[in-house]
Amino acid sequence: MGADSGPGAPPTVPWRKVLYERQPFPDNYVDRRFLEELRRNIRVRQYRYWAVVREAGLVAQQLSCVAVFLTLWFYMERGDLGPSTLLWASLGFALLGYGLYEVLGGGSRERTRLADLQSAAVFLAFTFGFSPVLKTLTESVSTDTVYAMSAMMLLAHLVSFPYTQPSPPGSLSLNAALFGSVCLASRLPGALHTFAMLSCALLVFALWPCLLHRLRDRAEWSFPCAAALVCVAGVRGLASFWPEGALLLFLALLVLTLACPLLLVHLQRHKDNIHGPWDEAEIREDLSRFLS
């Protein structure tokens, strides 16, 4: 860039920051006032450590939800958990969660209870009716391939999950989780096992995030407790049949909830964003009259 004392700049002619006007200066010429408009970190958000830890708990508990689901599937596949037991337990948790969701709603509803009951009845009827088909869906596929597909779909569920707004769950995240659940459920002994596993998947991957989001909005004190309980359940569930996996999950939860927020807060002090007259122009106009 040029300067006030640069060659070819007559000192008697003042330089003006205008575009469509011919001036006796080079195209890249600026005066000494150019850097006076320099501003640093004007829109940088300062994070608090424990606030970041609280938000990271949502990521940790979602990872633990996958661990809980895999634990239930393993015990059903091994025969230690019957489908009727899982169905009754899922029904009890669903009713308890629905009641808690209603209490925290404070009377504000977008759907009637009859509509909720109809949706649940339609899902259960279709799932029960198609359970024999879903049971034989992957008979021609090798078990290793089914497990690999399930792992990829559950990983896609974790990556695409809308952590900032988990209610309702994103379509990509929910579909990936249900597809992985169908793959795993097709390897269970009977059609009733498949129906119980898919009902549990809907409870874990679709209904639980909605309740957790309501807890975070309406009862902030209960959100860390609920997330911690899910994390403990995930670690204990894996530890019952895969101690090494439980140790890996425990370390991953520690890194997600404690180390990553600490690293984020630490790196904030090194952030250096500069803003000035060289930035792109921003058109700021009140368009509310067009958005009614």
Task: Break the chain into its structural domains and give their ranges.
Answer: 54-104+112-262
Task: Residue 228: count other Cβ atoms within 10 Å of its Cβ.
Answer: 16
pTM, two decimals, is 0.79
* Phi, then psi, of 40 in degrees rounded to 5: -115, 135
pLDDT of residue 106: 59
Of 61, 65, 63, 64, nearest in space to 53 by CA? 61
Residues 6+ apart with CB under 8 A from 238: 67, 70, 71, 245, 246, 249
pLDDT of residue 255: 95
Point out the residues of the chain with pLDDT beneath 50: 1-10, 290, 292
**Residue 207 in 3-state DSSP?**
helix
**DSSP-assigned states of every residue in 91-116:** HHHHHHHHHHHHHHHTT--SS-HHHH
pLDDT of residue 5: 45
Residues 49 and 98: their CA atoms lie apart, in Å, by 33
Q: How many angstroms separate the most distant Cα atoms in the chain?
A: 93
Of 262, 257, 264, nearest in space to 228 by CA? 257
Q: What is the pLDDT of residues 219-228, one digit of tens each?
A: 888 888 999 9
pLDDT of residue 221: 85
Taking a C-beta distance cutoff of 8 angstroms, is the pair 68, 237 a contact? Answer: yes
pLDDT of residue 94: 92
